[in-house]
Structure 1
Amino acid sequence: MKRLLPSILTADFLNLTSDIQIMKDSGIDIIHIDVMDGVFVPNITFGHKIIEDIKKHFDIKCDVHLMITQPEKHIDNFINAGADVITVHIEASENIDSIIEKVRQAGVKIGISLNPDTDVQLLKRYIDKVDMFLVMSVFPGYGGQRFIKETLDKIDTLVKWREESGLYFDIEIDGGIKKDNINEVIKHGANMIVVGSALYEGGVFTLEGWGDVN
């Protein structure tokens, strides 16, 4: 099932409560939260407390994308905060297997992400170990970047592996998704579509014109 996941990276945080309520009223049941440390990526965003606060006030799932170095040092905080999905970058740690084991033991879904210039073949050994792969279609760090069309080849490869193996895993894409390219992304096989700045026209969150994606 294809799903649209609003990213709160470009949200006006003074309006976040009302934005999430609009999301829920529109049928959105999961949101995407980008955690950045200023080291793995140049930007700094927020930590696990934002998840705690969202969970305190809303019955909504949190898809947490860790763009941080040594994510293994912080995994427990995000598990305890209530993350429903935790995704780590294959480029960010040499301990991916132990991270997968810890997250799975906690009953939380686990994903692996890769940057646009990372070889998708590095993911193949994990196809029977994770719940999701996240393909970055921009270089991570900031919202509002141009979609890198060549990353669709990675989606094609993941779909092929899924079909050949008989395994199921979600395929998520994040970066530069807009109304004029979302259908192409879905056609290639991504079923978890993260949309950020394009949902905040004039700084105001809106799902108008996005059709029945969710």
Structure 2
Amino acid sequence: MFTSPKIAPSILSADFMNMERDVAEIEAGGASFVHVDVMDGHFVPNLTLGVPFVKQLEKVTNLPLDVHLMISNPIQQLPWFLECGPDMVSVHAEALDEPTGEFDRAIDMIHEAGAKACLALKPDMRASVVEPYIAKLDMVLVMSVYPGFSGQKFIEGTEKKVARVVEIARAAGVAPLIEVDGGLGVNDPTRAVAAAGCDVFVAGSACFGQADRAAAIAGIARTAAEAQASGFVAPWEGREA
């Protein structure tokens, strides 16, 4: 919703044998968050980081931890991760049961632990699912790839979902951060989602795949800021999302 662009490098693309070094580099290089991809091998077809890692990561950086839970049972596991002291926690709408009140329970659990709450949406999930909860959310995460692996290509039309989330938030009189994850860099997808209202840009290989991480972060932030200012129109606008 046009706050200054915030870059959240995803450590899924970092060097796991030199994680402390890589996190220190992005902290010195101007990152706003460390994006931590937690995958359980069930909700998504990959297995990555767990509670012990998040607990240790919190000790080696002053950057806020943006913990993205791609897990099938967030209500059961949230307490484990919340004990690690994350700053922001994203749970997937697809993993929550709305009729039994799990959306509210997850958001409330996160807030009660002193963290900020985010709902994450896979590419196939409609934006309107956040509408009943938008006033309670600190952020909405819109996936622009199917979660599970880094280095995927941006799904065209994601910017339309971002714009819809902005519309829902404005109608409710609130302004949560909007994060987009997948295929972003110094490229047209970043320009498109920035112009649509994205504030937080997750960058994996576009950051950690570069020799100069500070320059990569600055380049993505500059690309996003220019698009916010100019109202960049995606080359695929008008196609079916």
Q: Tell me whether 1:118 sits opposite 2:121 in the alignment.
A: no
Question: If each structure's strand is expressed as a fraction of its own residues, which one has the higher value?
Answer: 1
CA RMSD of aligned residues (A): 1.6
Q: Tell me whether 1:191 sits opposite 2:194 in the alignment.
A: no
The aligned counterpart of 2:103 is 96
The aligned counterpart of 1:150 is 157
Shift of 1:205: 6.3
**140-149 vs 15-24, which moves further:** 15-24
**2:55 counterpart (39, 52, 55):** 52
Shift of 1:131: 0.8
- Answer yes or no: is the 8 Å Cα contact 2:29–2:213 preserved in 1: no
**22-31 vs 107-116, which moves further:** 22-31
Tell me, in whole angstroms, the C-alpha distance in 2 between the residues paired with 1:176 and 1:152.
12
The aligned counterpart of 2:233 is none
Tell me, in whole angstroms, the C-alpha distance in 2 between the residues paired with 1:154 and 1:108.
25
The aligned counterpart of 2:238 is none
Q: Tell me the SS of whatever aligns to 1:66.
A: strand
Shift of 1:212: 6.9
- Answer yes or no: is the 8 Å Cα contact 1:41–1:140 preserved in 2: yes
Query: Aligned residue pairs: how many?
Result: 213
**99-108 vs 176-185, which moves further:** 176-185
- Answer yes or no: is the 8 Å Cα contact 1:135–1:174 preserved in 2: yes
Shift of 1:29: 3.7
Q: 1:205 to 1:99 in 2, by over 3 A?
A: farther
Which runs of 4 or more aligned residues in structure 1 lie more than 4 Å from their structure 2 counterparts after TM superposition? none
Tell me, in whole angstroms, the C-alpha distance in 1 between the residues paired with 2:134 and 2:96.
18
Tell me, in whole angstroms, the C-alpha distance in 1 between the residues paired with 2:220 and 2:106.
35
Tell me, in whole angstroms, the C-alpha distance in 2 between the residues paired with 1:66 and 1:38.
12
Tell me, in whole angstroms, the C-alpha distance in 2 between the residues paired with 1:101 and 1:150.
31
**1:136 counterpart (136, 143, 149):** 143
- Answer yes or no: is the 8 Å Cα contact 2:9–2:208 preserved in 1: no
Shift of 1:184: 2.3
Tell me, in whole angstroms, the C-alpha distance in 2 between the residues paired with 1:157 and 1:212.
23
TM-score, with length taken from structure 1: 0.94
Tell me, in whole angstroms, the C-alpha distance in 1 between the residues paired with 2:26 and 2:205.
15
**2:81 counterpart (68, 71, 78):** 78
Q: 1:153 to 1:212 in 2, by over 3 A?
A: closer
Q: Percent identity?
A: 36
- Answer yes or no: is the 8 Å Cα contact 2:30–2:214 preserved in 1: no
List alignment gaps of at least 5 residues for structure 2. Answer: 223-241
- Answer yes or no: is the 8 Å Cα contact 1:90–1:96 preserved in 2: yes
- Answer yes or no: is the 8 Å Cα contact 1:19–1:205 preserved in 2: no
Deviations 1:102-136 (A, max 9, x none): 11111110000111111111111111121111000
- Answer yes or no: is the 8 Å Cα contact 1:170–1:192 preserved in 2: yes
Tell me, in whole angstroms, the C-alpha distance in 1 between the residues paired with 2:146 and 2:60.
32
**169-178 vs 182-191, which moves further:** 182-191
TM-score, with length taken from structure 2: 0.84
